[in-house]
């Protein structure tokens, strides 16, 4: 056992007890007592680990806990959150969600993986580092927010307001861990998102469909407009849209080619005979990770119940989401979509925009990426699986590229069966303590790499 491992082993019981204490706060959005209790607890725990702490108010949302510890030329920003998803349906939990319980080497509680595990492991890792080697040779900045589960509405304005405080040379994001095949997995980016509702209006009431020869049908009109957004090969055909999509770099492609991807199993699970356009696995994975999307999430118009009813609908509505890659901002997509529809005479279509997010993708050569790869190799004993980008979306951009950092990575305490957002959320305790070891190794390499 090396020095770091023995310090972790000596503190294992105390660290577990602290974790259980943290998990006892029902810090679900809307539970003011649970949220404020968690804020105070995180602030105290950061202070005990040697950090200077500031509580940043968000106005009408729960506070952000900011803490800084260590000294050195390089700075690392850790992003995690203390809020959790609601625990219901409660009946499906085998032990109470806010009484963290150990069974078969796993710790069960709401927030165990998402995201109190990441939060506390990082604070404890700072303590372990200092006990093993003395003062941290880098500045670690903790940003622990309380509204991730409700879309982080204050994150972007806060990142601007406190830009100087939060700016760092690299960002350690929440999430990540072991995949189904027990390979440690790192994600180096997240897609952005733009979400719209499109509406077409016709007559001021639903009409008898006998009037179809003379009265406009908003459902047809919406379908015709939607038909201009994509071609039959599933390419997005919004004017100017694809010009903003950077081709993946050689470095990104090299990492993507090393990702084990079980396309056949995925198709079998989903019950589909083929991917779009009968793409092979490699093409599918590249497209999944590096390309934007335009998805009809739902359509509504006229009569949609069982049986038949002849009616000419008075309105039609569609919900559309676009998963975005870097350079395609939600504002740009809104402008492109409006212009595209107007040029085709669809200027009567109303567009409602929802709050969006800009995508984030790391420079694969960034120190934060390379330090995480080296630390994972050293601690987990195998080559980590490195995703240049995650298929999903998150607000990483605000704290990474938005503040000038070359990269952010997701590296967490999770594994394939963490049951995030579901009953019996859990982590494996051995993973948790191993992750502290990883974090120490990562900080060391990030500081000197």
Please tell me the distance from the alpha carbon of residue 62 to that of residue 36, in angstroms, as a whole number.
Answer: 7
Token pair belonging to 21: 């204490």
Q: Which of residues 197-226 bind Zn ion (CB under 5 A)?
A: none
Nearest residue (CB) to Zn ion, 337 versus 413? 413
End-to-end CA distance of the chain: 25
Binding-site size, Zn ion (CB under 5 A) = 3
Nearest residue (CB) to Zn ion, 294 versus 418? 418
Please tell me the distance from the alpha carbon of residue 141 to that of residue 53, in angstroms, as a whole number.
Answer: 10
The correct pick among 7, 34, 111, 114 for binding Zn ion (CB under 5 A) is 114
Token pair belonging to 162: 């406190």
Please tell me the distance from the alpha carbon of residue 67 to that of residue 55, in angstroms, as a whole number.
Answer: 8
Looking at residue 201, the DSSP 8-state letter turns out to be E
The correct pick among 63, 115, 145, 147 for binding Zn ion (CB under 5 A) is 115
Nearest residue (CB) to Zn ion, 152 versus 293? 152
Which span sits near Zn ion by CB under 5 A: 59-67, 114-122, 152-160, 304-312?
114-122
Q: Mask: binding to Zn ion, 58-97, rule CB under 5 A, as x and -? A: ----------------------------------------
The rounded Cα 361 to chain-centroid distance in angstroms is 12
Nearest residue (CB) to Zn ion, 114 versus 252? 114
With a CB cutoff of 8 Å and minimum separation 6, the contacts of 308 are none
Nearest residue (CB) to Zn ion, 147 versus 174? 174
What minimum distance in Å lies between the beta carbon of 189 and Zn ion? Answer: 16
Q: Mask: binding to Zn ion, 353-382, rule CB under 5 A, as x and -? A: ------------------------------
Token pair belonging to 227: 């038909």
Site of tokens 């997701």: 410
Exposed / middle / buried, residue 208 (Cβ in 10 Å: 0-12, 13-18, 19+): exposed
Q: Mask: binding to Zn ion, 146-175, rule CB under 5 A, as x and -? A: ----------------------------x-
CA dist list (Å): 43 to 62, 104, 149? 14, 31, 20
Please tell me the distance from the alpha carbon of residue 213 to that of residue 226, in angstroms, as a whole number.
Answer: 22
Q: Which of residues 173-192 bind Zn ion (CB under 5 A)?
A: 174
CA dist list (Å): 376 to 211, 237, 379, 386? 67, 41, 5, 11
What minimum distance in Å lies between the beta carbon of 413 and Zn ion? Answer: 11
Nearest residue (CB) to Zn ion, 80 versus 389? 80
- Shortest-Cβ-distance residue relative to Zn ion: 115
Which span sits near Zn ion by CB under 5 A: 113-121, 246-254, 270-278, 364-372?
113-121
Nearest residue (CB) to Zn ion, 313 versus 394? 394
The residues binding Zn ion (CB under 5 A) are 114-115, 174
């Amino acid at each position: 056992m090396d020095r770091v491992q023995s310090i972790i082993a000596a503190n294992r019981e105390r660290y577990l007890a602290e974790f259980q204490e943290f998990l006892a706060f029902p810090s679900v959005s809307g539970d003011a007592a649970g949220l404020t209790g968690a804020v105070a607890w995180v602030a105290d725990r950061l202070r005990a680990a040697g950090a200077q702490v500031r509580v940043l108010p968000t106005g009408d949302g729960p506070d952000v806990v900011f803490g800084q510890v260590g000294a050195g030329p390089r700075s690392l920003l850790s992003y995690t959150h203390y809020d959790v998803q609601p625990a219901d349906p409660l009946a499906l939990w085998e032990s109470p969600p806010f009484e963290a319980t150990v069974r078969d080497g796993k710790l069960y509680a709401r927030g165990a993986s998402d995201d109190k595990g990441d939060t506390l492991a990082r604070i404890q890792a700072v303590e372990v580092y200092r006990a093993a080697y003395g003062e941290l040779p880098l500045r670690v900045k903790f940003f622990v927010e309380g509204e991730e589960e409700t879309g982080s509405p204050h994150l972007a304005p806060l990142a601007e307001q406190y830009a100087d405080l939060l700016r760092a040379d690299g960002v350690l994001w929440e999430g990540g861990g072991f995949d189904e095949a027990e390979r440690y997995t790192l994600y180096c980016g997240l897609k952005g998102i733009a979400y719209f509702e499109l509406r077409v209006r016709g007559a001021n009431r639903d009409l008898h469909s006998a009037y179809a020869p003379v009265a406009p049908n908003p459902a047809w009109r919406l379908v015709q407009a939607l038909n201009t957004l994509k071609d039959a090969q599933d390419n997005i055909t919004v004017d100017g849209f694809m010009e903003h999509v950077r081709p993946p770099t050689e470095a990104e492609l090299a990492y993507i080619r090393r990702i084990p991807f079980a396309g056949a199993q995925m198709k079998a699970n989903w019950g589909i005979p083929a991917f779009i356009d009968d793409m092979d696995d490699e093409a599918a994975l590249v497209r999944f990770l590096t390309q934007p999307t335009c998805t009809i999430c739902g359509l509504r118009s006229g009569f949609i119940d069982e049986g038949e009813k002849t009616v000419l609908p008075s309105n039609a509505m569609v919900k559309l989401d676009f998963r975005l890659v870097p350079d395609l901002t939600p504002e740009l997509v809104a402008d492109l979509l409006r212009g595209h529809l107007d040029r085709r005479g669809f200027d009567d279509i109303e567009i409602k925009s929802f709050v969006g997010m800009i995508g984030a993708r790391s420079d694969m050569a960034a120190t934060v990426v390379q330090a995480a790869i080296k630390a994972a190799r050293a601690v987990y004993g195998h080559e980590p699986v490195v995703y240049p980008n995650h298929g999903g979306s998150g607000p990483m951009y605000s704290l990474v590229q938005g503040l000038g950092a070359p990269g952010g990575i997701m590296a967490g305490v999770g594994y394939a069966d963490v049951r995030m957002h579901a009953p019996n959320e859990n982590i494996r305790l051995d993973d948790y303590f191993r992750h502290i070891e990883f974090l120490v190794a990562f900080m060391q390499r990030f500081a000197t790499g």
